[in-house]
Structure 1
Amino acid sequence: MKKLIEKIIPRPARPGMVGDGFRVYNMIPGAGISQQRISPFLLLDFNAEYDFGPSERVRGVDVHPHKGFETVTIAYKGSVAHHDSTGNSGVINPGDVQWMTAGDGILHKEYHEKEFSKKGGPFEMVQLWVNLPKKDKSTPAHYQAITAGQMGKVQLPDDAGIINVIAGTFNEVKGPADTYSPVNLFDIKLKKGGNAGFKTPAAHNTAMLVINGNVEVNGEKAAEHSFILFKNEGEEINISASEDSVLLLLSGEPINEPIVSYGPFVMNTQAEIHEAIRDFQSGKFGVVD
């Protein structure tokens, strides 16, 4: 049975800025989709392609904390550098993914990679926040650097395109990301006239972002930059592309626990939020040079 579409949401009229280096359209929860409705996903910011121009001053987001969830940054165009209080640092380039588990608390900063910043050029990214179950919110902070070459790859029949499996499994090909609850995250690249079919559990909260191109999803047209929210009915998703297209499909088993969030902290109770703030203020998250 086809997975029914609840709504197709066009890109918001105006982007917002995260720091001075990320010009984003907020789809979760900004498109009126509550965090409980789309659990385990908490946030999706889409930096649609944009050229910030060359700059000697590196743009980005300065040091800030996180606790209780994971941040997933997917690079489509441009390069992002990262540095955190566990000592991890690195650069993600097109096709790479940075999967950071904030767990019991971390400080980090994200910014345009220095040489990319000097040259400028097209910049296109997605950042997704994934909640952690209560039992895992105190896990030590850590980081998964996933390169384009490490992705699970499925070549579609008839040269229709390719699926990069970031997390979960597609056609028995497993993605490299380790997750704390069942999550599927697929980077879909379809050629003009290409088709692809997916099956996701009916109970999974499921959505899709059209990053580039125009497609038809289960018989309904979805324009570039639109966001598709599926109902929790049916399992089959069929996509056909009227032009070369790039999509991000996300599905996950809901975490049926309370969500209490305050800025960069996502916990289960207000008391835990106050504790997170105290931990941050007392320096328990470490330091970033």
Structure 2
Amino acid sequence: MTAPAIRALPPGRSPTVALANGAGQVRVIAGQYDDVSGPAHTFSPLNVWDLQLNQGRDLTLRQPEGWSTALVVLEGEVIINGSESAREGQLAVLSQTGDALHLEATAQAKVLLMAGEPLQEPIVGYGPFVMNNKTQIAEAVRDFNSGRFGQI
């Protein structure tokens, strides 16, 4: 089990990169975009990008083949891979096939992209706890309630 920890990422700490062809910009929170790495520490390979997309522009993003990818549209609307539309407040979970993701902004858009290497193991979540089964969740809750997680 990983020791509990917390790390604040102050505003301005994550690098911002201009996207090709005036498509907008990407703030790299975790993982890597081209040669730019985000400051957030992760326990498995993943990317977390805050995309600001300009209306009428499109771009193709690359992710490693087989990764799980999800998009949350925070503002605006985008067309995903030329066929599916996602608008503000919607979550799009993409297939794990291919390594290219094509986005077109039909309006100014803000999109949070989260992509990562599949863990290939069961996942059970409860509040802030993420474990492999309900027994481990119960143990984590007991440990937390008994003070074994320390002080934050």
TM-score (norm 2): 0.86
2:115 alignment partner AA: S
Unpaired runs of 5+ residues, structure 1, are: 1-136
| 1:227 matches 2:91 | yes
Tell me the CA shift for residue 186 of structure 1: 0.7
User: What pairs up with 1:117-266 in 2 under 5 angstroms?
Assistant: 137-139=1-3, 141-220=4-83, 221-266=85-130
Q: Distance in 2 between the 1:233 and 1:275 partners? A: 36
2:24 alignment partner AA: G
2:53 alignment partner AA: L
Q: Distance in 1 between the 2:133 and 2:20 partners? A: 48
Tell me the CA shift for residue 251 of structure 1: 0.5
Percent identity of paired positions between Structure 1 and Structure 2: 39
Structure 1's 185 and 261: CA in aligned 2 closer, same or farther, altered over 3 A? closer
TM-score (norm 1): 0.48
Question: Which structure shows the bigger proportion of residues in strand conformation?
Answer: 1
Deviations 1:157-197 (A, max 9, x none): 34331110111111211111111100101100011122222
Deviations 1:134-161 (A, max 9, x none): xxx332x222222332212211234331
- After superposition, the CA RMSD in angstroms is 2.0
Q: How many residues align?
A: 151
Given that 1:161 and 1:191 are in contact with CA atoms closer than 8 Å, whether structure 2 keeps it comes out as: yes
Unpaired runs of 5+ residues, structure 2, are: none
